[in-house]
Amino acid sequence: MTATGDAVGAVDTQALGDWLAAHAPGYAGPLTIDLLAGGRSNLTYRLADAAGNRYALRRPPLGDLVGSAHDVGREYLIVSSLRGTGVPVAPVVGSCPDPGVIGAPFFVMRFVDGHALSTPQSADVLTPAARVRAGEQLAEMLTRLHAVDLDATGLAQLHRPGSFVERQLRRLMRQQDDTMLADFPLLQQVHDVLTAAIPAETGTGLLHGDFKIGNMLLADDGTINAVLDWELASVGDPLADVGWLVASWADDGDGTWLVPPPTTAPGFCTRDELKELYAAASGRDVRFVDYYVAFAFWRWSCINTGTRRRYLSGAMPGRTLDVRALEAQITWQLERASSLLAGLAR
């Protein structure tokens, strides 16, 4: 059995192969494994066996974790519950809560082909027509996601008391220390405006939590083959997902990005057009969606301040980060949130 990369080397491939032999019909060793996506989110590995079967494995990131973060058992529950709902997800093989197999709990899915876009250059695989189709597909898919029957799928258990937005505002603000608030005073100011202006919920639905083009596997024509990365899924006002999608869907030449989003490449629809596509597909009132876009920019800035803090404290060994570029992105995100909220107040 072979493995490549430091994070892959931490996996006992013999034990994993034995687990697959017991849980994946048709599995035939030897097993090869390589890391597809790492970082602070759950790690994704691509597995392949001698029979040509391909799988994707999800496990928590290496190192110490806080609280219930990166619960792959919960993510497995969500992915397996979505089969047959019209939201495309990878077929699951099984879940292993025992950390004794590869050093952490994990679950395995069948591998789904598709283009995962992460940069403007990665969008080169799509024709102009496919880029238009991708925007339409994300709006349609988000509508399907928010229409999932929580009771029928068993996902009503994800519903927690109170507002998703209130919980996020409270939790993320607690993570900001005095130094961070001094370096980025808009963190507190935008938080306070968001807290005072939370709109009445337009409904309740399943939230992906990180719904963006980078978490889709796209076919050549822009159709979504699978929606990935469900670790942040929750239940709340669907406009919270819409706000995150719109915030991450950058227009050409828009914003200050550490890594520009794929949608800055020519041919994709604009943010405003994306809002209209979702409104048309869902029939939902999106008059106040800019509040949720502002909330998304603030939430994203908090995630980035956490990255900055970890890097400066030496908690991200081996990784190179352009701190000034990240700080510029945080500042722009907060300024954008503040501007959107000011526009709603007028």
Residue written as tokens 């999932």?
Answer: 148
Work out the percent of the chain whose per-residue pLDDT is above 70: 93
Work out the percent of the chain whose per-residue pLDDT is above 90: 76
Average pLDDT of the segment spanning 180-190 = 95
Q: Model confidence over 224-250: pLDDT tens digits? A: 999 999 999 999 999 999 999 999 999
Residue written as tokens 């994946």?
Answer: 24
Q: How far apart are the first and last CA of the chain?
A: 63
CA distance 9 to 35: 10
CA distance 227 to 137: 11
Average pLDDT of the segment spanning 119-144 = 97
Contact present, 45 and 61 (Cβ < 8 Å): no
**Residue 45 CA from chain centroid, whole number:** 16
Contact present, 299 and 172 (Cβ < 8 Å): yes
pLDDT at 221: 98
Task: Provide the strand spans (E) within the chain.
Answer: 2-3, 32-37, 43-48, 54-59, 92-96, 106-110, 205-207, 216-218, 224-227, 234-236
β-partners of residue 108 are 57, 94
CA distance 310 to 177: 13
Tokens representing 277 are: 């596509």
Instruction: Show the domains of the chain with their CATH numbers.
Output: 2-110 (3.30.200.20), 121-345 (3.90.1200.10)
**Residue 32 CA from chain centroid, whole number:** 26
pTM: 0.91
Contacts of 209 (CB under 8 A, 6+ apart): 230, 231, 232, 233, 234, 241, 244
Average pLDDT of the segment spanning 23-27 = 95
Contact present, 8 and 31 (Cβ < 8 Å): no
Q: Which of 244, 301, 253 has the alpha carbon at shortest distance from 274?
A: 244
Name the residue type at position 172: L
pLDDT at 314: 84
Q: Model confidence over 270-314: pLDDT tens digits? A: 999 999 999 999 999 898 899 999 999 999 999 999 989 888 888
pLDDT at 94: 96
Q: Model confidence over 35-54: pLDDT tens digits? A: 886 545 788 999 999 999 99
CA distance 233 to 211: 9
Q: At what angle do helices 289-312 and 186-196 cross, to 10 degrees?
A: 150
Contact present, 46 and 11 (Cβ < 8 Å): no
Strands 32-37 and 2-3: parallel
